[in-house]
Structure 1
Amino acid sequence: MRTRMTLKHALLTLTLMSILTGCSLDGDDGSQGPAGTPGQDGAPGQDGNAGKDLPRDLNIDVVGRFNTGIYGKSAAEIVQFHVASKSAFAINADDNHIEVISLASLPTAAVGSPVNDSSLSSTAFTFPDTVSVKNSAGTTVNLLLGEANSIAIYDDILAIAVAGKEKTATGAVLFYTLDGTGQGSFIKAVAAGALPDMLTFTPDGSKLLVANEGEPDTDYNLDPEGSISVISMTGGTPADLADEINLSTDMTFSSDLLSAEDYDTDAKRRSLLSASGVKFAGPLGTTVAQNLEPEYIAVAADSKTAYVSLQEANAIGILDLTKMSIEVKALGLKDWGLYGIDFTNEDEVASFRTLPNVYGMYQPDSIATYRWNGATFILSANEGDSRDWDAYSEDIRVKDIVDPDEFNLTFSTALQALYDETGGKDGLGRLKVTSARLDPNNDGVVEKLYAYGARSFSIWDQNINLVFDSGDDFGRISAAVLGNNFNSAHTENKGDNRSDDKGGEPEAIDVGEIEGRTYAFIGQERSGDLFVYDVTNPFQAAFVAHYNNRNFDVDFELDDDLDNPCDEGEGMDCSEVPNAGDLGPESIKFISAEHSPNGNPLLLIGNEVSGSVTVYQVTEK
C-alpha cells in the first residue's frame, strides 16, 4: 500500500514538472512589427436623398390656358385627358360639342399672364343629336338628344353622357374610338337612364358606370327615378344594353340587426334611411328612388366596388358591382358650434364665429378614391345643394322661419339668443337653410338649423365613416389671402357675396401622386380657389398650398340664368370678363408625370363661367 502511494506521488510530481518546464521554454513576446501598407479606399457610396419636411411645399404654375370666349354658358365644364393624342377634352355645353385641346407642345415654364392667357387652341369634336339604341326587347329605337353632361376616357375609348331632348326622358352614352389626333370613330350608342349626369370607367376598363340623376321637371309633372347604369365592355366594345342598379329593390342594408323583410317596401326603406340621417325633400308621394339623385361616381382600385354621391340627400351609396346592389349611408352633420363660419353677406367683410345649434349637411358633389394600407378611402368636395323647383322648394333663409307671413314659427330660447346676438335678419337671418327639417316634432319651436354644404373637403373610409374634415380651413385661408374679396360670386367681383349661401362652394376634387406623396386637389366653384392637401396618410391630412387664378381688380357682372348672360339691356357688363381670370371651376383632372406631355404632373381645370380650361403644373419646391 505504501509502495503504491509513493509511485502515484512520483508520477504526479513528474507531470507537474513537465508542465512547468514546457511553460518556461516559451520566449518573451517580440516587439510589434511595422504597420502594413494601407489597402485601397472603397468606391464612394451614393448620397442619400435629402430629407424633406412634411407636408412638402409645392410650386403651382399656369403653363397653358384655352379660352372659348363664351361667358356664363358652361362652355368649358367637364375635362378629361387622352394620353395617346396628348389632348385635353372639355365639354362645351353652349355649342354642344367637345373641345379637343392639344397639349403636345406644353411648356414647363409658367405663362406670362395666367389670368388672360390664351396660348392653347382646340378643334371641335361633334356628335349627333339623334342616335339609335337597343331597348330591352332588342328592338332598335331612335332617341332625340339634348346636351352632353359628362365625358370619360379609358385608353382610346371615349364615352359621352348625353341627356334626352327633354331632361326627364331616356338619355344615352355615345362611344367612340379615338385616334392619335384625338378625333373619333363612332362605335355605338347605349341607352341610359334619365339625365345621365356623370360617367366613369372602372380602373380595369371592364365596365362604364353612369350616374342617372333623374331630376324632375320644374313643375313636378314628371319625376324620373335616379339610377346607376352599368355598361359592360368587351375588347373596347360596349354591350348593347346597360344593366341597372335601381334605388328601390336593389337597395340593401348590411346590418345583421335587419333582415330582408325589414326593407322590402318603399315605406320601410324610407323609414330606415330617414332614421339614419338621409334627407328627403320633395312633394308628398315621391318615392325613395325619386328623391335619391345620383351625382358623381368614383370606383375603388379593384373595380368591384364604387361609390356614388347622393348630394341633395346628404348621403353616399356603396355600389357592389358583383351583386349589382347599393347600400346608402347618411353622412351626418357638421357642427358649426365647433368651427368658424361667415354666415351673412350684409357686412361685406370676412368675419367668422361659431354658431351653436347650427349644422351643415356635407352634401358632396365630386368624389374621388385612393388607397392607403390596402384600404379604400373616399374624398368628397362638400358643396351642398337644395331642391329648388317651381312646384317645390326647400330653400329658405333663417329669417323666414319667424316671419309671420312665411313659416311663423318660434325659435328655442338658445336659438333666439343667437339670432339676436348676430344681428337678427341681417345676421344669422341671412343664412340659407332647409325647410325640410325645421320642426320634426311639430311643436312650433325650431331648435336646430341645417345649412347646405360643409364648406370643406372630407375623407371617408370604405364604410363611409368620417376620417378627416378640413373644418373651416377653406374660409379662413381664402379670407387671409383674398381679404374682402373672399366668398365672391363667380358672376361678379363682389366680396362676401356668397357667405349667406354655401360659401366658396367646394365643387371639384381629384387625387394624384407626386414624388411618392398623395395629394388632394379641391376647386371652389364660386370664389375660384384651388386648395391642395397632402392626404398620403388619411389620418394625418395637412394643408399644403392655395392658388387663385382670378383678377379681383376688374369690374364685370354677368347672369348665367339669362339666355344671354352678358345682356346689356339687363344691366350686365362683360367687357372685362376676358381679364377677370378663371370663373366657376367645375371639374379637375390630375395627370401624372408619367403621362404628362411636358413630363411634370399637371392639373386640368374646366371653368364653366369663364369658358376656360387652365393647365396647372404642380411640382415640388
Structure 2
Amino acid sequence: MKNLLKTLPLLLTFCLIGCDDDPAPQPQPNPINTEVKFNHVKTIMVGGETAAEISAYDATTQKLFVVNAESNEIAVYNIKDINNPVQLTAIPLANGAPNSVAAYDGKVAVAIEDNIKQNAGKIALYNAENGSLINSYTVGALPDMVTFSKDGKLLISANEGEPDDTYTNDPEGSVSIIEVESGIVTTLNFDAFNADEASLKSNGFRVFGPNANLAKDVEPEYVTVSDDSKIAWVSLQENNGIAKVNLVSKTIEAIYPLGFKNYNEAGNEIDASNKDDVKELKNWPVYGMYQPDGITYVNINGNGYIISANEGDARDYDSFSEEGRIKDITLDETTFPISEDYQNEANLGRLLITNTLGDEGNDGDFEKLYSYGARSFSIWSENGTLIYDSGNSIAQELLARTPDRFNDDDSRSDDKGAEPESVEVLNMSNERYILFVGLERTDQVLVYDITNPTSPVFLDILSHEGDEAPEGLLVIPSSESPSGKDLVIVSNEDSGTVSIYENQ
C-alpha cells in the first residue's frame, strides 16, 4: 500500500503530460523544514526508575502532573516558567499503584491498580489547584490508561485485566466510561465477541491464553478519543488488535485485527540478530505482529486517523510463556531449507518469536515465524484499514544519524528493535501536523511531518543526555502553552526524568 501511494503522484504526472496539452503542475515550495525545530529547554529529575512514566498538563493551573510509581504518588510541578519548574506538594495515593494520569480544566484523573492486580481498580479524580479528592470510581481490573474525552465530560479507562503468574485468576479485559458530572460508571466487557473469535483470529487477531475465551484474553492497553468525543479506540496490544467504542451508546462496536507485517518485502528490512557483529537491515522470511502500545487520534482535512506505536509485547508468566528463539524450534525444511542456515545465531537464530503461531500443520514444526511488534508506527483509518506503515524508516534514520544508538547499540536487534512505545500529534497553528514517536530502547523521540498522512516526512531526532526509556509523550499547543510556543514533554521511565522541548 505504501509503495503504491508513493507511486501514484508519478503516474498522475505522466498522465497529465501525455494525455493533456496543458503543462504539468509545477511543484510547490516545500514547507516541511520551516517552523519546526524543537530544542531541549529543561529536564526535571522526578526520582529513580518508575518515577516518571506518564505526564499530564492542566492549562488552567499551568501545572504538570507526573505518575511516580516509585513513591506511589502524583508528582506536581508549576511550569509557568518552563525554564524554572517549581515542585509543589505531591498527591499521595493509597491502596494501589498509579499507572496513568490525565488532566482537563482544573481536574486530574489517576488510574490506580489494586494491590492485587486481578481485583477491580479505581479512577481517582482530584482538584488540580489544591490536590483534594473530588471522587473515586470503581472500574475493571488493572486500569492501565485513563483519558478525558475532548469535551471533558467523560473519563475512559483501558482495564488490562492481566492474569496472575499461575494463570488461574484471569479477569476479563474491559473498558470503563465515567460520566464526570453524574459519577455514573459503565464498564464494558468483550463477551459479545466470543462468538466471533474464529473469524477474528483468521484475520490476525490473537486469542491464546491458557483456557481463555476472547473476553478473558483481551488486554486493553491504551485509549484515544475522537475530536467530537463520540468514539474511542482502544489498543489490544497482546491480541494484535484495536477496539472501537461508541461513547454515546456505550457499546464496543468492533474489533479490528491488525494482521501481520512481512519482513521479506522491500522497505521492511530488519536487523534480526545481535550476534552477527554488524548493524545491517536485510529481508527475512519472518512476520511481525503490529501489537501497538500507544495510539492517538488525529483529524486531518476532515478525515480521522488512528496512529499506532507498534512496540510489541509477549506474555511471559511462571506458568505460561509464549516466548521462544528460532534456534530452539523445529523449522519446516520445505519452507526453511537447511542450506539457508536460518537457525544460525548470526542469521535468524536469535530472533525472539511467539510459539503460539506458525505451526500451521500442527505437527511440531514451524511453517511461518511471527516476531513481536512491527518496529514502526502505522496510520490506520477509523475502521482499522492500514493507510501507511513506516516500514524500516525508524531503523534507517537511526543507522544514518545515530548508529551507536541503533537498536540500543544492536543489543535489541533480536528482540523488538527500537521499540516504538508512544505516539502523539501536535496540530500546529498553520494546520501542519507533527508526529512524535517515542523509542523506548534508544532513549529518543523521532519527529515526522504527517500533514500528508499517506506520505510522512522525517524531520528530526530529539534526545537528552541522561534520559532513558521514554514512556509518555505530551504535546502542548502554543494556545495553551505557558511559554506561548508549542511544547513536547517527554516522560522517561527508567531515568525518572521529564524533559521539556520547545519549538523555536
Matched, 1:67 2:32: no
Identify the residue that residue 140 of structure 1 maps to in structure 2.
Answer: none
Q: Contact 2:61/2:106 (CA < 8 Å) preserved in 1?
A: no
- In the TM superposition, what are the counterparts of 1:332-343 in structure 2 within 5 Å? 332-338=259-265, 339-343=268-272
1:351 maps to which residue?
280
Matched, 1:90 2:17: no
For residues 223-256 of structure 1, what are the alpha-carbon distances to aligned partners after superposition, in whole Å with 9 as ceiling and x for unaligned? Answer: 110000111122xxx51x411111113x4xxxxx
In structure 2, the CA distance between the partners of 1:478 and 1:393, relative to structure 1 (3 Å rule), is same
State how 1:267-416 maps to structure 2 within 5 Å. Answer: 268-283=195-210, 285-326=211-252, 327-338=254-265, 339-356=268-285, 358-402=286-330, 410-416=331-337
Change (3 A) 1:185 1:90: same
Q: Does 1:99 align with 2:75?
A: yes
Q: Distance in 1 between matches of 2:47 and 2:132?
A: 28
Query: Take 1:124 and 1:175, find their aligned partners in 2: how far apart are those partners?
Result: 17
What is the rounded CA distance, in whole Å, between the counterparts of 1:418 and 1:477 in structure 2? 33
- The alpha carbon displacement at 1:65 in A equals 0.8
Matched-pair contact (CA < 8 Å) for 1:530–1:547: yes
**1:543 corresponds to which residue?**
458
**What residue in structure 2 maps to residue 572 of structure 1?**
none
* SS in structure 1 of the partner of residue 60 of structure 2: coil
Instruction: Please report how far the alpha carbon of residue 85 of structure 1 lies from its aligned counterpart in structure 2 after TM superposition.
Output: 2.1
Shift of 1:423: 6.6
Residue 491 of structure 2 corresponds to residue 606 of structure 1 = yes
Matches within 5 A, 1:255-270: 266=194, 268-270=195-197
Distance 1:401 1:88, change over 3 A: same
Structure 1 residue 331: Cα displacement: 0.5
* Cα distance in 1 between the residues matched to 2:228 and 2:404: 46
Letter in 2 for 1:395: E
In structure 2, what is the Cα distance between the partners aligned to 1:226 and 1:526? 27
2:116 alignment counterpart: 166
Shift of 1:469: 0.8
Superposed displacement of residue 63, structure 1: 0.6
Q: Secondary structure at the match of 1:540?
A: coil
Q: Deviations over 1:196-229 (max 9, x none)?
A: 1101111111211010000011111211100001
Question: How far apart, CA to CA, are the structure 2 residues paired with 1:98 and 1:124?
Answer: 9
Equivalents in 2 of 1:230, 1:148: separation in Å? 18
Equivalence for 2:33:
56
Looking at structure 2, the residues matched to 423 and 272 of structure 1 have their Cα atoms a distance apart, in angstroms, of 33
Which residue identity does 2:213 align to in structure 1?
T
**SS class of match (2:196):** helix
Q: 2:443 touches 2:467 (CA, 8 Å); kept in 1?
A: yes
SS of 1:295's partner is strand
Measure the CA separation in 1 of the matches of 2:90 and 2:109. 12
User: Structure 1 residue 443: deviation in Å?
Assistant: 3.4
2:442 alignment partner in structure 1: 527
1:154 partnered with 2:104: yes
Letter in 2 for 1:190: Y
Note the alpha carbon deviations across 1:258-284, whole angstroms, 9 max, x for none. xxxxxxxx3x3221221222012211x
Residue type of the partner of 2:306?
Answer: I
Cα distance, 1:416–1:146 mapped onto 2, change above 3 Å:
farther
1:80-106 CA distances to partner (integer Å, 9 max, x unpaired)?
A: 111122222111100011111221112
Q: Is the 8 A contact 1:412 1:446 kept in 2?
A: no
1:188 to partner: Cα distance: 1.4
> Which amino acid counterpart does residue 288 of structure 1 have in structure 2?
L
Residues 99 and 52 of structure 1, relative CA distance in 2, 3 Å threshold: farther
- For 1:500, the aligned partner's letter is D
Secondary structure in 1 matching 2:337: helix
User: What TM-score comes out, normalization by structure 2 length?
Assistant: 0.90
In the alignment, residue 219 of structure 1 is paired with which amino acid? T
Name the residue aligned to 1:517: 432
In 2 relative to 1, CA 439–64 (structure 1 residues): closer, same or farther, beyond 3 Å?
same
Quote the offset at 1:349 in angstroms.
Answer: 3.2
2:272 aligned counterpart, secondary structure: coil
- 1: CA distance between counterparts of 2:248 and 2:333? 49
- Name the CA distance, whole Å, in 2 between partners of 1:86 and 1:206: 21
Compared CA separation, residues 124 and 434, structure 1 to 2 (3 A): farther
Partner Cα separation in structure 2 for residue 74 and residue 366 of structure 1: 18
Partner letter of residue 184 of structure 1? G
Tell me the residue number matched to 2:17.
none
- Distance of 2:275 and 2:86 partners within structure 1: 42
Aligned to 1:32: none
CA–CA distance in 2 between the matches of 1:321 and 1:167? 26
- Number of the residue aligned with 1:36: none
2: CA distance between counterparts of 1:419 and 1:152? 51
Opposite residue 135 of structure 2, the aligned amino acid is: K
How far apart are 1:52 and its partner, in Å? Answer: 5.0
The CA distance in 2 between the partners of 1:521 and 1:128, in whole Å, is 31
Q: Report the CA distance between 1:419 and its aligned residue.
A: 5.1
Structure 1 pair 157–467 and aligned structure 2 pair: CA distance change class (3 A)? same
Amino acid at match of 2:197: R
Instruction: Indicate the SS of the match to 1:271.
Output: helix
* One of 471, 496, 502 as aligned partner of 2:416: 502
* Residue identity in the other structure for 2:88: T
Amino acid at match of 1:411: D
In the alignment, structure 1 residue 123 sits paired with structure 2 residue 75 = no
CA drift of 1:126 comes to 2.3
- Aligned-pair distance for 1:355? 0.8
1:80–1:518 Cα change, 3 Å: same
Q: Distance in 1 between matches of 2:486 and 2:463?
A: 18
% identical aligned pairs: 39
Match of 1:244 among 181, 187, 193: 187
Runs of 4+ in 1 over 3 A off after TM superposition: 416-419
d(CA) in 1 for partners of 2:425, 2:221: 18
Structure 2 counterpart of 1:123, one-letter code: L
Mapping for residues 131-280 of structure 1, pairs under 5 Å: 145-179=95-129, 183-234=130-181, 238-239=182-183, 241-249=184-192, 251=193, 266=194, 268-280=195-207
Deviation at 1:344, TM superposition (A): 0.6
**Larger displacement relative to structure 2 (81-90 or 540-549):** 540-549
Contact 1:604–1:615 (8 Å) recurs in 2:
yes
| Residue in 1 that maps onto 2:356 | 436
Unaligned residue ranges in structure 2 (runs of 5+): 1-27
Helix, strand or coil at the partner of 1:474: helix
Task: Return the alpha-carbon distance in structure 2 between the equivalents of residues 602 and 228 of structure 1.
Answer: 30
Which AA in structure 2 matches 1:272? S
Amino acid at match of 2:480: H
Q: Distance in 2 between matches of 1:418 and 1:522?
A: 39
CA distance in 1, matches of 2:86, 2:419: 29
